[in-house]
Every structure is written in structure tokens, then in C-alpha cells.
Structure 1
Amino acid sequence: MADKNDLPSEDQFLCAICLDVFTDPVTIPCGHNFCKDCITEHWDRSDQYQCPVCKEAFTTRPDLRVNTFISEMVAQFRQSAPQKASSCSSEQHIFKPGEVLCDACSETKLKALKSCLVCLASYCETHLEPHLIMSGLKRHQLIDPVENLEDRMCPKHDKPLELFCKTDQTCVCMLCGVLDHKMHKLVPLKEEYEDKKAQLGKTEAETQQMIQKRQLKIQEIKQSVNLSKEDADREIAEGVQVFTALKESVERGEANLVNTIKEKQKTTEKQAEDFIKELEQEISELKKRSSEVEHVTHSEDHLHLLQRFMSLKVAPPTKDWTEVSIHSSHEGTVVRAVAQLEETFSKEIKKMLCEAELKRVQRYAVDVTLDPDSAHPNLILSDDGKQVSHGDVKKNLPDHPGRFSDSNCVLGKQSFSSGRFYFEVQVKGKTQLTLAVVRESINRKGDVTLSPQCGNWSIRLRDGKEYKAVDDPPVRLSLKSQPQKVGVFVDYEEGLISFYDVDAAALIYSFTGCSFTEKLFPYFNPGLNDGGKNSAPLIISPVRVN
């Protein structure tokens, strides 16, 4: 009798389907053994009857009868040795959410290490061992554990999907490649995987780029909202300031109206009081004369009456009250007050709007410096490029292509071809000057003709008092006071150039409807020195928003 230690190894009693020790082992016609339930379920979900190990196909479904010999051997094996397959090592990792379960574990499900495309099952470390040591199972195709293994089998031929048909853009099995896709372009799944992976990598890069662009757009929109809020807050503050000033002006007008009417009424009452007092005085005198006349007329003394007659006959001196009257009408007072208020309003509103407009354009301030390569040789520029004046001595300078040869002017270094910009120039003490914005192609080697048609938009001062806008036709400017500092604003897209009296917060002149197609440059002409009368420099000043 054989010793229990001479029993076959555990590998000989494992079902190739469940990889556990046989339960009701049956033998199919090709000679391979399986658990009765395992092979029954395998054939129930398949369109053909095939051996899971050798792939031999049977035309009819074989009858399954328990192999009593193998069954007895399994019973002896169960009694003599602990089942390795049914007692999975406690050292293995317990299944976690998101991981694939071992299909062979009967009790605690463990994490699968591999999935078999032939067995259509996933196995943990213990149940995977037969695939690593048994010659028949070594030929099975193992992959990293996945769920729904049935989806990786060809539904028509029950074969693994190993090829990719580029013609139909679908995954197929080997048999499909021979039968249904014979003339199609077929490649291994791995090759198509690498190609599609590269495409997805490119798509991912493009997607990330799109995400970044949209994130930047979000930041841009948020920034726009923030700027809009700042503008709104600023406009509200300025609006409140304007309307507060207007309300105060109305209140002052109302107070003046009331005071005017009250003062007029007070004057009327005083005049009436004086008239009444005077009238009462005359009445008193007349009553006194009347009393005397009455007394004399009742007297029987003939001599006394005749003696008093002449003095009593003439009435006491009185005023002629016929034309005297009290004019107490206040008609037109309110109308005149409202008209005056309207005029005041108009002036105040115009002033406030100019102040608000100046504050708005000052937000587009840029740093402008003078370009020495464009300066006429008679001009004197400061080291910091912020001041220019006319000198009596012509300097020997290189004939730079951009230098003005005839006109005593200089351009700013900075050019502008879009958007808005603003700068300020101190003109205090000047008797002559020209400030302008000019296009890049302005004539440098001859007289500069000042006109919008020639690409320059300017204002000029002559004789220390007369400002003129060099428009078509030129416009003589009536200014209340001589500007000490001039602000220059340009809106490229709007075609607008405006000059401001900064200290008075007043608009000097605007060129509208301009068409800009080139770069624009600030232009400065300090005028001739004129024996020292016009020696003060033009100074580009820092912009300070009030």
C-alpha cells in the first residue's frame, strides 16, 4: 500500500478553470479533467463546446459523468494534506475598493495579480501559480488584472481580441482577421495601442493648452471685472461729488432766493413804516390846526378871530402823497434766481465734467522722454531727456536719418500704434511753442508743414498770448487764462487727440475723426530763444492725478 507521503502533488488535483482542488471531477473526451460545475458553466456561456486547456472542439456537448477514480484520489488528498488553494495565505493583501478580485478565492476575496484571457478569470498570487508552472496553462495569455474579461473575447469566435482592424477601426480576434477582415489592414493591438496612446498624448497636451487658455481667460475676465469695479467705484465717487456740489449749489441758490425776498420785504416794510410815521406826524399837525380853527370860530371875540385869521387860513406845510405808493411785488424774483442758478449750474457742470474727463485721461499716463537722434542741432536737451529749449549756437551733430534739419523740434522716443496714451508738458514762461502728435513719416529734412493732412495735429502759442489749433481751417482759441501745464491725450482707435489746461482742468482743443495708420510720436517745438524772452524750456512733467 502506498504511503500517504507518496501521494501526487497538489498541482495534479487542480481544476484548470477554478484553479482549486477538484469538486466532482469529470473527464471530457480529450482527457482533461475539470470540476463538473466549472466545465458546465464554461460551456453554458459559450457558443461552442471546446476544451479550455487544449482547445479541442466537440460537435456535440459531451455527457459529463464524475470520474470516480479521480474523485477518490482527491478525497485521499484532502484528508492527507491541507489545501493550499482553499486556504489563501494570510500574508496576501485583502481586496480594496477599485481593485480586481480573484475569481478563484472561495472565502475572503484577495487582490488579483493577473487576468487570463483564455480562462476569462482573474487570479491572486496563490491561484495564479498553476499558470506559472503547469505546461498547459503556461500557454495562456496573462495580462494585468481587469474586470469584465468577457468583453475582451470575440463574441463571434470566443477568441481573445488580439488584433486591430485599421480599415473598420475595431478590435478583432485572429479568426476574424482570417475570415471577416481578410483584405483589411490589421496590426497587433500593442502597435495600435502605442499609436493611439501617442495621439491621446497629443490630445492631452492640446487639452491642457486649452485649459490653460481658458484659465487665463478666466483671470482676464476676473481682472476686467475688478477693473470695472474700480471704474464703477471711481465713477460713483466722482458722481456723488458732482451731485453733492450741485445740491450745495441749489441750496445756496435757495438760500439766496429766500434772503433776497426777505431783504426786499424788509426794505418795503421799512419804507412803509417811514411813510406811516411821516403821515401820522402830518395828521397830528393837521389835528392841532383843526382844533385851533374850531376854537377861534366858536369865539365871540371879533378882534381875536380877525387877528388869527391869516395864520389859520393857510394849512400847515404837508407832503403831496398823491404819487406816493408801496411797491411790494416780488414777481420775477424766482425766475431770475432760477436763471442765475441755471447759469451757475452750467458753469459748475462744465467744470466738473472737465475735471472728471481730465482725471479719466490721466489714467493713461505714459513715461515720455526726448529722442536726441531726432533733435534739431539748435536745441538743448537735458540729460534726463525731459527738458528742451532753443540755443543760439548750432551744434555739430551727426546727420541722423531721423534728425530734423530745418524745424527747431524734437520727437519723443516712445511711439504708439494702438490704445490710449497721455502726457503733460510744463509751458510756464513761454512766449512761443508748438506741441503736437505726429505720424512717423513726418518730413525730417525740410520745413515741417503743420496740418492734419500732413500728419501732425498741433496747438501753437505766439506772442505769449495767442493760442491757435492748427486744424483745417486753423482755430483761434479763446482761453480764460494762459495754461501753465498742457496735457496731451490720444485715443488711437477712436481717432481723437485732445489738449488740456491741466491746472484749470479745462479742455483747450480736440481733433476728432482722425485716421491713424502709422506709429504716432509726441512732438515738441520750444520756439526761438528770442533774445532770452523765450528761454524757458518745455518740461515733460510727471502726471499727478488730483
Structure 2
Amino acid sequence: MAEPRIPVSINHHCCRICSEVLRNPVTVPCGHNFCMQCIQKCWDKDKKNNCSCRCPECGHIFQSTPHLIKNTTLAEMVRDTENPGSEKRTKEHSGESLNVSRRPRHCTETGMSGSHLCWKHSSPLDVYCCTDDQIICAVCASAEHSGHRIGCVGEERRRKQEQLRNIQTKSKQILQKQRKKSKNLKKILTQIQEEARQTEDYCESVVVSVISSLQEHYLSVRALIGAQEEEATAWVQVSIKTLEAKMQEMKKRVSELDHLAEVDSNVHFLKEWPSLQRLCEEDHLNPFDEVSEDPLLPFEFTKRTVEQVGKRLEEFCDKEFASISETADRGEESPGQMEEDDMQEEREASVSQSCVFSAADRTLTQPSVEPTTRAEFLQYACELTLDPATAHVDLVVSNGDKEVMLIKAQEKIRNSPIRYPERFVHRRQVLCREGLQGERCYYEIEVVGDKAEIALTYNGIDRKSRSRLSAFGGNANSWSLDRYKNYSVSHKSGSIQLTASPTHHRIGVYLKFREGTLSFYEVSDSMNFLYKVEATFKEPLYPGFWLGEKCCIRICDLRQS
């Protein structure tokens, strides 16, 4: 009777080079077995690299290429393993596998199924090095990972499984928010079209009330509205497409997470998890794009601007037609009075149309002496208005374009694709509409807050870059009075510190364009001189302001002073 065959672990029938069942097994002098083709390729590679032949398993070095001895006994054992001799052995093997699968899996047993073996030591991959994020065997842990934080594969799987569940939950929440955001964007798209129509009707109702000569301006306003509508619509449509693409990507990522959560192989899970985790974390950094600026805001600015123009023109016409009626009742006026009325008409028309002040505005009333009292300065008062189209997105212009305020909440509209081309992009600055080049010009502003800059600059100042060239006083074409704990004056990136510290909120600015002087005063009961700039002004100077935290600047109405 034949002796029962002693089962041999399949691990001993595997080549340590290719990890497959031995084919034409041969034995090297150190006693280890390999596929004949595998060991020959390995030694050929050593010779090519001018290295001595060595055993891939134990590392033993041979002085010359050893003679390979075919291991016939091992070859027969391999054949017997691949072709089991009886149904009983098959059933016993199946029953043994079933028992193993029913046993509770511990961390030391993780990774022992299939070919999950250490290629160096042929030991199960049941250890996880948390320090290096590697799956290793116990021999590698003691030999190469000494001092590292070591855990078992099963426990590490459970820990990362919890991370996966948290990310699954967060991903689904983000997907829900994206669906809601997509719905809101589509609603905004409809509102844009409705608001565009309403804005056209509103502007038309304002413009048609003025004389027919302004019809060409109204047509340009309509063109602007159309461009605003087209730009806003295009941007929202792009946002919708981008969001829907992100939703598809997120759905795919959620599906991958669900699939990975159901993977049985711990090794496969731990190999795939890091890359999938990084992708999910990148998705979560910017789950969905906010509408960084209200797309309806340009329409509101257009309506407000046209309304203000209409009011100014109506006031101007009412005043002038009333003056005509009074003149007709009284009879003819003296030539001097008519000349004075003509000059007043020119000044008001200049203000209403935001024209540059000319040198002839004050020629009839200009005295030869320098003003010293506030009443004397007020003779040269000029009317200014802020230009919202130049204001940084953090600044809000209000009160008839006479007041500008820094509001933190406006940060939500930063980086919006809907921009005025003349807007300051990176600095909280704003310009006035009017350029000053009169013989003498004077205006006052009130500052609420600790830090602000009162400046004059050429219209061509850089408004896009982050460099000092876009800052008031940071270039050769702008001059700035900086108000903080002490006053200072800036020009060409240089600064002159003044000894005076702010004691009043009102600042007076006195410009003599042709003479090339610019003076700053602190206004109270008297005119407190701060500093005088001397330069050659080649272009009209536009008043501008920079605002610090919680700051508000108001242009004073000197007609009521």
C-alpha cells in the first residue's frame, strides 16, 4: 500500500524571481531553486552589469557562473501539485480552504491569501508600517523598519475605512449643495434676461424725457446694457457647464469610493486608497464655485447712473427755463449780468457732463494774492463726484457719488469676471470723474477712520498690477497725502514723514496747475498748513482715494459752506 502523500505548501513550489510555479526547476550551489529561464536571465543581467553572479534569494556570491543542476524531484512535486491524484484530496483541500475562510481574520493573517507574499522573505504581508505607508512582512518590519510605528493590515484597513465613510458622507453633501447651486444659477440666468429687459425700459423712460440731442447717448447706453447682458449670460452659462462637469466628476469619485469600500483584498484597498484619497481631498478644497459677484449689479449701476444724469439735466433745465422766464418779465439784462450767467451755465454744463476743468473757469474772479482763510479758498471750490467704474470691488460708492466706504462684505465679489475695465483690481482705490487743470482748484474731503490716502494722479495710472506702480504715490505721476498716526506725503515710492498728527477729519486740497504746486491743509476753524508739493503737471490731475479698514471718505459740498 502506498504511503499517504504529505501535502507541501504551494509557497515552496514558487520561483522567488517570477513568483510563479516553478518551470524546469534547477538548483544552484547554495541550495535554492528557481526556474531555469529566470535564473539564467538574472545572471545574464549581472554579467551585463559587470557584477558577479549571486543567488537572488540569499545573496550568496559565486566567483564564476555555477553549473545549474535540474531538480527532477522538485519537478515531479510541482506536477503532482498541479494535477491532484484523487477527488478526496480535492475535497479535503476545498474543506480546508472553507475552514480557513470561516475563521475570524486577525491582523497577523491579513494578506496571506493568493500571492500576497513578501518578495524578499516569502512571508505573508500582514504588517503595515504607518511611518512609511508600506505593506510589509514581519521580517521586513524587524530588519528594515526598526523604530517605525507598526500596525497590522486589518487594523489599518478598519481605520482607513472610517476615513472613507467620512469622505463618502462629505462628498454626497457637497453633491447635494452643487445640485442646489446649479438650480440657483439657472434661476439667476432667467433673472438676468428679465432684468436686462427691465433696465432697457427704465433707461428709455429716463432718457426720452431729455432733449433729442441726447438720443445718441441713449443708444450707447443700450449697447452697454446688451454687452452687460451678453457678458453676464455667458459667464453664468459657463459656470453652469463647469458646475455640471464637476458634478459628473464628483459622481464618478463617489462611485469609485463605493467600489473601493466593497473591495475584499486589504492589499488592493491600501494600494488604491492613497491616490483616491488625494483626489477626494482636492475635490473638497473647492467643492463648488461661488458666484463671486452679483451678475445683476452692472444693470443696477447703469440705472443709477442714468437716473442721476436725468436729475441733473432736469434741474439744469428747470433753473435755466425759470431764468429765461424771469428775464422776459424784467426786460433786458445788462451785458455784465448776461456774461456772468453764461459763465455759470458753462460751469454747470461742465459738471453735468463730467468734463475736465479748464484754465478759463476762474479768470474773471481770480485775485493776485494767495488765499489764507477758508472763505478765500472757497472762491476756487470745484465740484467733484466719484466714479464707481474705477472703484475697487471692496468699495461702495453712494450718496450721489459723493461718498465711498470700505465694506468687508464686498470681498464676496472679488475676482469676478464682470469687471469695469477702468477698475482698480488689487488696491482699494477710487478716482473722481473730473480731471483738474484749472488755474486754481480747491476741494475738501472728510475722513472717517484711522487710515486713508488723499491723492491726485494722472488718468493713466496702472490699475491692474500688484506692484507699487498701481499705488497712489508709488509712481512718478501721482502724489498722495497719507493720513494715519502721523501725516506723510508719498511720491515715486518715496515718503516724507510730517511731524503733524491728525486732529481733525476734514482735509483741504489746493491745486495751482499752471504754477505746479499742490498744497494740503487740515481744515478746522482755521486752515492748518500740512505740506506743499512742487512739480510740473503735464496732464489733468484726477483726485483719488485709498481707504483703510473701516474707513469712509466723503467729498464735501462746498456750495453749502
**TM-score past 0.5 threshold:** no
TM range (shorter): 0.3 to 0.5
Greater Rg, structure 1 or structure 2?
1
